[in-house]
């Protein structure tokens, strides 16, 4: 069995998809997001394009962080969308992609994973997936939705071993990556169609149902500031509304959230 044998591009290409979708599989790349961005210069209009890699040598997280992308075990996938809206809407795209990931992943585990604002999916308080959306302003503005899911990992490097988990570690079962990719892309298409139809509130309500963040005491770090309070809700721009310790509502468009567990 080759390392990437459970990713079967033919199965994916034959699955129901929007017309004209292109699928690419790469045994190795620096970053699937970077791959899509490079491709945009020669192919400026390819809405729906999906690029999958078996391994990333420069997997990207937010703010220049690294996404650990071991070969043969994870899903490293980018989808290109070219919606008719401005960069302010990217936070909503990130929520939409997280929701699609949660729904897809939850098909494969008995206990549901929970979304953590803005871009994490947690299982038993450990990170099982992350989303990185990047805006690229070309002739046809593009958003690259990057999703990393820990699927069949049995171990992680020292720096993340206490904060990361995988489907395999949580369920004890090996998951076929092609089956999960199919679910993920189906969900992405479905949630994106809702976004295009401006069903923002429905999307935010659904995201909220897939998160155990609300009502919990949290600490949010933003640069060198940190705010302690309770997550109250998301507003219609996808920002987090927090009730701080003085009883004042604060609206955050970015930050690192830590749930204070007892
Ligand atoms: C993310 O960033 O969670 C976004 C991850 C997006 C990865 C996908 S893979 C396909 C596409 N191509 C790319 O190059 N990227 C996207 P952030 O919230 O900044 O989290 C990064 C942090 O998560 C790191 O600093 C580590 O602490 C932790 N981390 C790194 N790799 C991890 C992993 N495999 N599992 C769990 N946690 C990880």
pLDDT in tens, 39-55: 999 998 999 999 999 99
pLDDT in tens, 7-16: 999 999 999 9
CA of 57 to the centre of ligand 1 (A): 13
Q: Which domains, and CATH codes, for the chain?
A: 3-209 (3.30.930.10), 217-259 (2.30.30.100)
Q: How far apart are CA 205 and CA 214, in angstroms?
A: 12
With cut-offs at 50, 70 and 90, classify the pLDDT of residue 1: very low
Query: CA 230, CA 143: separation in Å to the nearest integer?
Result: 31
Q: What residue ranges line ligand 1, CB within 6 angstroms?
A: 31-33, 56, 59-62, 65-68, 76-78, 119-120, 127, 130-132, 146-148, 150, 160, 163-164
- The label of the residue with tokens 């803005």 reads 118
Q: What is the DSSP string of 135-147?
A: EE-SSS-EEEEEE
pTM: 0.97
Q: What is the spatial distance between Cα 211 and Cα 66, in angstroms, rounded to a whole number?
A: 24
| Residue 24 preceded by cis peptide, ω within 30 | no
Return the residue whose CA atom lies nearest to atom 37 of ligand 1: 164
Is the Cβ–Cβ distance between 192 and 185 less than 8 Å?
Answer: no
Residue pointed to by tokens 């060198």: 224
pLDDT tier at 212, thresholds 50, 70, 90: very high
Residue 180 backbone zone (phi > 0: left; psi -120 to 50: alpha; other: beta): alpha
Please name the residue whose Cα sits nearest to atom 3 of ligand 1.
130
């Amino acid at each position: 069995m080759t390392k990437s044998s459970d990713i079967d591009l033919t199965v994916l290409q034959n699955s129901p998809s929007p017309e004209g979708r292109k699928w690419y599989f790469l045994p190795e790349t620096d970053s699937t997001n970077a791959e899509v961005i490079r491709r945009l210069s020669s192919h400026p209009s390819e809405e729906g394009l999906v690029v999958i890699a078996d391994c990333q040598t420069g997997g990207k997280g937010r703010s220049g962080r690294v996404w650990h992308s071991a070969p043969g075990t994870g899903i490293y996938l980018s989808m290109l969308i070219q919606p008719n809206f401005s960069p302010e809407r990217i936070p909503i795209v990130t929520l939409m992609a997280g929701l699609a990931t949660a729904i897809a992943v939850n098909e494969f585990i008995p206990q549901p994973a929970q979304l953590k604002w803005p871009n994490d999916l947690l299982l038993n308080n450990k990170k099982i997936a992350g989303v990185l959306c990047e805006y690229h302003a070309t002739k046809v503005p593009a958003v690259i939705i990057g999703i990393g899911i820990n699927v069949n990992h049995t171990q992680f490097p020292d720096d993340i071993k206490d904060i990361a988990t995988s489907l395999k570690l949580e369920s004890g079962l090996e998951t076929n990556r092609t089956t999960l990719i199919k679910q993920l892309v189906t969900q992405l298409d479905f949630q994106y169609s809702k976004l295009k139809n401006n069903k923002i509130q429905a999307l935010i309500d659904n995201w909220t149902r897939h998160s155990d963040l609300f009502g919990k005491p949290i600490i949010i770090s933003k640069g060198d500031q940190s705010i302690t309070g309770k997550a109250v809700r998301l507003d219609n721009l996808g920002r987090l509304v927090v009730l701080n310790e003085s009883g004042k509502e604060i609206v955050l468009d970015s930050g690192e959230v830590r749930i204070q567990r007892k």
